Structure 1
Amino acid sequence: MSQQPEDLTPREAWQRYIDRRRPESTDHSMKTYYYRLKQFVEWCERQQIERVSELDGWTFENYETHRAGEGLAPVTLNGEMKDLRLFVEYLERIEAVEDGLSDRIHIPKVSDNEASSDKKLATEDAKPLLEYYRRYDKGSRSHALLEVFWNTGARLGALRALDVRDYHSDEQYLEFVHRPESDTPLKKKVNGERPVALSDAAADALDAYLVSDDRWDKHDDHGREPLFTSRLGRPGQNTVRCWSYLATLPCLHSECPHGRKRETCEFTERNKASQCPSSRSPHQIRTGSITYQLDSGLPPEVVATRVNASVETIKKHYDKATPRQRMQRRRRRYVDRLEFDS
């Protein structure tokens, strides 16, 4: 007799759920689902919960209390419980648990401030970095990387996915293309495909990088020619993240704001650059770029298209402008219209 769905162990149900989600999700999303739910499965096993049919509201209450007691940030706990609810909704669909069980999972609320980190590459920090690269290190990998991140507001995965053929030098734009069959999916899949215009400075940086000694002339495992290359071909996400931290060290252009000497500071090393309080990740550069684009007068709808996000998401998670900056935006767009004509 075949196994009934209600007899699945939490681990068996988790593995089936992950398999169902895989075709519709990116690798990054799958890793998130995998590890968040793995915590719950292992906790169930410690509680000697042998079948999913044993799950009830008290189970979820105890699990949330357990995870909160481990010191999770509110936004992290919020995400874990949301993913757990989706998992239980799947169990309802296959009739492994009773209908409505997912409604008993409490989703802790988080404030807008908790849901969105204020850390970003601020405009006043990006400007001296870009000025340094344009004057003293033009065409280096760090220069081209920062120019593209700052100019396009692209996600890490989108930048890593770029091929040389995706850069159109004459027309000065990059084309982001979803290619999951060769290990470069976009977060929003085909909905993430788009051309993004580049500034003169960003295009100049890429032109210089493509012919520089700082770029490895390599192909990836699928025969494609990545735009940004490592010694082994297409860089992994962690490699791009390390490059980002190194490219945003403020001691490149001025004295260390933290009282250190660049010659002896361990934060200038590849694997420790992330520990510098002033270095920034790709996501933090994206946040700063979106704020800068909005401050520069680009309509939210235009910025949303460039960075592949909804206007609502931009306003909630990425627009880190201060109240004064928002006032200046309104002044530029509207207040000048209130002046009497001379």
Structure 2
Amino acid sequence: MNRYLKDKSTDVTDSTLSNYQTTLNVFCDWLTDKGGVENLNELTSDEIQRFKEWRLENVQTITLKTDMTCVKGFVRFCEHINAVPDGMSQLVRIPKPNPEDEVSDDILTRDEATEILDYLEKHEYASLRHVIFAVLWKTGMRRSSLYALDKRDFEDGASPYLRVRHRPDTETPLKNKRKGERDVRISGEVADIVRDYLRFNHPDEEDDHGRTPLLMSTHGKRCEPSTIQRNVYTVTRPCHYTGECPMDRDIDECEATSYNTASKCPASISPHALRRGYVTEALNAGQPKEVTADRVDMTHDIMEKHYDKATKNEQMERREDYLKDI
């Protein structure tokens, strides 16, 4: 397993490699504890199938698909080093979830985003949270891309933009590595928020690699991805930006009102929902798919399957300008 992970380390991001390790730890532990396999030379398709059946008792089909795809890749590597019989990987069966199970419907709408931005403009202007939300919503970039930005990546001028760069040697890799590098135009409004954050609320210190992160904690450290996540969960709680709970909960008694428990609010959403919202609203506004895909570093197929959440009526409206009376 360690040899496989080392082999994959040059091909995937650190987060993906960590996911592989977690899955394979579960698989190898099961083989030892329940499968009775102590040497991979003894592995048969029966053990793999029994692991799959055991795993399905604990996870959803979409998660099992991811797990078994990882196991299949591991077994294929084991064939390469003669650790399992040839052809074993072909016997690993990958489940096929329903298409609906593979797609998340969590999305932030334009109206909700506007209301949140109005709240932040009035009550938390140029705060860390304001920058996080404004950049994610207005650019559609990944959380990991926002995390990777340095202060120097903010180009402040007549046409402001953010430089998204792959810097794995100093612990900020991009999901798609060099292919994910790009310059992302931002509006003057977003630039004002970033500029004022840097001027009034940024610690302006260097990290362990001599870099000055764009997003920094009050302790002078680069904000972790989990910090970005918690801030989005917090600000998207309706009670945070409206003062009211749409679920009629007692706000004083609700368990989700603290910073660390905001994700427990049924109405709060993750950074990925902002990405879906941006893609959907950009396409609804007439922004070409090619432009949107390049801006957010996404393939057309992935965009259409996972991120474009337009209603049937919105899709009809998009076609209006191209229809001809024949």
CA distance in 2, matches of 1:306, 1:241: 21
CA distance in 2, matches of 1:279, 1:246: 7
**Residue 229, structure 1, aligned to residue 216, structure 2:** yes
CA distance in 2, matches of 1:99, 1:59: 16
CA contact (8 A) 2:166 2:177 kept: yes
Moved more, 55-64 or 159-168: 55-64
Shift of 1:303: 0.8
**Residue 293, structure 1, aligned to residue 279, structure 2:** no
Question: Which residue is 1:6 aligned to?
Answer: none
CA distance in 1, matches of 2:119, 2:228: 20
CA distance in 1, matches of 2:14, 2:303: 23
Superimposed CA distance per residue, residues 147-191 of structure 1 (whole angstroms, 9 cap, x where no aligned partner): 100111111111000001101111211110000111100011111
CA contact (8 A) 1:287 1:320 kept: yes
Aligned-partner residue type, residue 201 of structure 1: E
CA distance in 1, matches of 2:2, 2:209: 29
Question: Which residue is 1:103 aligned to?
Answer: 90
Shift of 1:296: 1.5
CA contact (8 A) 1:162 1:228 kept: yes
Question: Which residue is 2:268 aligned to?
Answer: 279
1:183 equivalent among 147, 166, 171: 171
1:239/1:253 CA distance change after superposition, 3 Å? closer
Q: CA RMSD in A?
A: 1.7
Matches within 5 A, 1:82-231: 82-170=69-157, 171-213=159-201, 215-230=202-217, 231=219
Question: Which residue is 1:238 aligned to?
Answer: 226
Question: Which residue is 2:258 aligned to?
Answer: 269
Aligned length: 322
CA distance in 2, matches of 1:135, 1:34: 45
SS of corresponding position for 1:253: helix
Superimposed CA distance per residue, residues 251-299 of structure 1 (whole angstroms, 9 cap, x where no aligned partner): 2332221223555544231110111112121112112111111111111
Aligned-partner residue type, residue 300 of structure 1: K
SS of corresponding position for 2:97: coil
CA distance in 1, matches of 2:241, 2:139: 23
Question: Which residue is 2:38 aligned to?
Answer: 50
CA distance in 2, matches of 1:42, 1:122: 43
CA contact (8 A) 1:245 1:281 kept: yes
Question: Which residue is 1:5 aligned to?
Answer: none
CA contact (8 A) 2:234 2:240 kept: no
CA contact (8 A) 2:204 2:220 kept: no
CA distance in 1, matches of 2:251, 2:149: 32
Aligned-partner residue type, residue 323 of structure 1: K
CA distance in 1, matches of 2:214, 2:93: 45
CA distance in 1, matches of 2:261, 2:2: 35
Question: Which residue is 1:10 aligned to?
Answer: none
Gaps of 5+ in 2: none
1:22/1:61 CA distance change after superposition, 3 Å? same
Aligned-partner residue type, residue 334 of structure 1: Y
Moved more, 310-319 or 229-238: 229-238
1:130/1:338 CA distance change after superposition, 3 Å? farther
Moved more, 124-133 or 269-278: 124-133
SS of corresponding position for 1:327: helix
Q: TM-score, normalised by structure 1?
A: 0.90
CA contact (8 A) 2:136 2:275 kept: yes
Superimposed CA distance per residue, residues 206-260 of structure 1 (whole angstroms, 9 cap, x where no aligned partner): 12211223x3332211111111111241011212211221222222332221223
CA distance in 1, matches of 2:50, 2:37: 13
**Residue 323, structure 1, aligned to residue 326, structure 2:** no
Shift of 1:23: 2.3
1:247 equivalent among 198, 221, 235: 235
SS of corresponding position for 2:10: helix
1:264/1:232 CA distance change after superposition, 3 Å? farther
CA distance in 2, matches of 1:182, 1:338: 57
CA distance in 1, matches of 2:156, 2:257: 32
CA distance in 2, matches of 1:40, 1:143: 42
Q: TM-score, normalised by structure 2?
A: 0.94
1:206/1:264 CA distance change after superposition, 3 Å? farther
CA contact (8 A) 1:112 1:316 kept: no
Aligned-partner residue type, residue 268 of structure 2: S
Moved more, 59-68 or 118-127: 118-127
SS of corresponding position for 1:175: strand
Question: Which residue is 1:313 aligned to?
Answer: 302
